[in-house]
Amino acid sequence: MILTLVGVSKGMLNDQKQRSRGVGADIIVRPPGSAAIGLTGNFDERILPFLQKQSHVAMATGILVEPTGPLTSITGLDFAGFQKMSGDFRFLKGGPIQRPGEVVIDEYYAREHKLKPGSVLKIFNQEWRVAGVFEQGKLARIVVPLAVLQSITASTGKLSAIYVKLDDPALTDSVIAQWKSGGLADYQILSMEALLSQMSVNNIPVLKAFIGVVITLGVIVGFLVVFLSMYTAVLERTREIGILKALGASPGFILSILFRETTVLAVIGTFAGIGLSYAARWLIMTLVPGSLMQAIVPDWWPIAGAIALGGSLLGAVYPGLKAARQDAIEALAYD
Amino acid sequence: MTSAPIISVRGLRKVYRVGEVDVNALRGVDFDIQPGEFVSIIGPSGSGKSTLFHILGGLTPPTSGSVLIAGQDLLGMTDRDRTKLRQKTVGFVFQKYNLLPTLTARDNIEIARYIAGSTGPLDGEFEQMLTLLGVGSRLHHKPRALSGGEQQRIAIARALVNHPAILLADEPTGNLDTENSEAVLKLLRDLNERLGQTILMITHNPEAAAYGHRVIRMRDGHIEGQG
């Protein structure tokens, strides 16, 4: 459970990172006060021509992002400007948008929703025809022309972000410094490199807290499961424990048996958990690749193992002590 | 049989507390068992014979009196001392066999050795005893694959694997048919005669009791007679 949830958290970030990298920009400009991760929150698009005129700016393109569900969003692009910056969309099926009312979607979204060119999907109470399915990794899952999205979401003249490509990427930091000192101090201006490096669990307090809650829940649930399993196991083995005591087994011997058994179970459970995290990833990539992503997190394997082992051993202490102190005569009479 | 008794019981009393009521299970028991004797203890339910079995086996402490087993007084023994007594000095055979169901017959025997601190393969003498017990070819089976008679013979082997001074058998034929009962009783007598194994057997069956050298009759927590 822990490996899967942490994997989903990291997987979602990695996916966003990969898609952001796919833009091909050097700088991202976001509205004042917006979060580094996520593209909601809008600002006036008139800043775009202002940026395009700045020195060393080779090109700049704006996008608008509107959420369509808890984990999905639709992105409006200036296709010409965006493709000039990041390269053409590589269509696996169908092709680019030709007429109003069409969208293009990435392969994961198409797989999850079983869509293909010609399929119809409903977004914002409007039916859209799928024109093409493009290779994933191009910033967004559902893409429509920028003007269309601005119009249907009453966001005319608004952008969520502007991507800027410089004529010399080595000047990125100095250009950012110049802009910040030149009247754009309130804006979130980040190099793409800095943005990508911020896309880690430790740099996102909410995600860090979320994972903390997940781990805590995992420990509590794991502890209770192991505790109750061991308690039940001890009850079911009352007679066996009585036999061992009659044979001269000391409380320490019985405790050591229970602890060894618990350790073996915890180790097997850890390996099973690792295997299940692969199974969960397969399920996610098969059923909901457009909504969720899961990474395999080997750096968490020892942590998960330690949690499993620690929780199991703690859970075994009470029933173990109870079993070891059990009266042999009562235990032998147990049926 | 003129040597010092291997079991010497004097004024043994055992009082259980059941709720707020004291139950006098043993009300002053006196007897001696000589090394190499095969003694049957017979009596109806509630006569105190099982309590006596539990005390002699170190499963529960006496309330008062003196119980010397192989020179050790059980009255002042701690739990740890009684645990050691069960490892080395006494071996148990129960009515319900009490084999560990997840272990093979051989492992059931070997775990008793392991608990007593012995490791390595079974010695040749004990392997011969397994043949004598008629279970040599059944050692790789788990208890569920063995008949009642076979299970009881494995239980006897387990009780003897650490060469205890005393073998305590509590209704060893209680769950067996006539044929298997007779086989087990003959076996106990054989072990006593061939190996000089001291055996104390509790039973309510006079025919089974007759296999012993002598019979101690119990009733209402005391000894009614011997002979």
B101 at interface of A, judged by CB pairs closer than 8 A = yes
Q: Chain B 29-88, CB below 8 Å of chain A: which residues?
A: 54, 57, 59-60, 80, 83-88
CA distance B164 to B86: 9
User: What is the distance between the alpha carbons of residues B56 and B90, in angstroms, rounded to a whole number?
Assistant: 8
φ/ψ of B10, rounded to 5, equals -135, 125
CA separation (Å) from B86 to A176, A244, B164, B194?
82, 10, 9, 23
**B87 Cα to chain A: minimum distance (Å):** 4
**Using alpha carbons only, how large is chain B's radius of gyration in Å?**
17
- CB contact under 8 Å between B86 and A240, yes or no, is no
B11 or A96, greater pLDDT: B11
What is the least distance, in Å, from the CA of A223 to any CA of chain B? 26
Mean pLDDT of chain A: 82
pLDDT band at B29 (very low <50, low <70, confident <90, very high): very high
Q: Which residues of B touch A248 (CB under 8 A)?
A: 83-88, 112, 115-116
Look at residue A190 in the predicted model and tell me its pLDDT: 83
Contacts of A61 (CB under 8 A, 6+ apart): A48, A77, A78, A81, A82, A84, A85, A162, A163
Report the candidate in A302, A300, A308, A301 with the shortest Cα–Cα distance to residue A219. Answer: A308
- Report H helices in chain A: 2-21, 47-52, 79-86, 107-113, 146-152, 172-181, 192-198, 205-236, 238-246, 251-287, 301-325, 328-332
**A42 pLDDT above the threshold of 50:** yes
The interface predicted TM-score of the complex, written ipTM, equals: 0.89
CB pairs under 8 A between A and B: 47
- Mean pLDDT across A68-83: 82
pLDDT digits (tens, 9 = 90+) for A147-173: 888 888 888 888 888 888 888 888 888
* Most confident of the ranges A183-192, A294-303, B84-93: B84-93
Using the Cβ of A240 and the Cβ atoms of chain B, whether some distance falls under 8 Å is answered with: yes
pLDDT surpasses 60 at A37: no
> For the segment A256-277, what is each residue's pLDDT rounded down to a tens digit?
888 888 888 888 988 998 999 8
Q: List, for residues B167-210, the tens digit of each pLDDT value.
A: 999 999 988 888 889 988 998 999 899 889 999 999 988 999 99
Residue A247 to residue B57, Cβ atoms within 8 A: no
pTM (2 d.p.): 0.66
Chain A: residue nearest B100 by CA?
A: A240
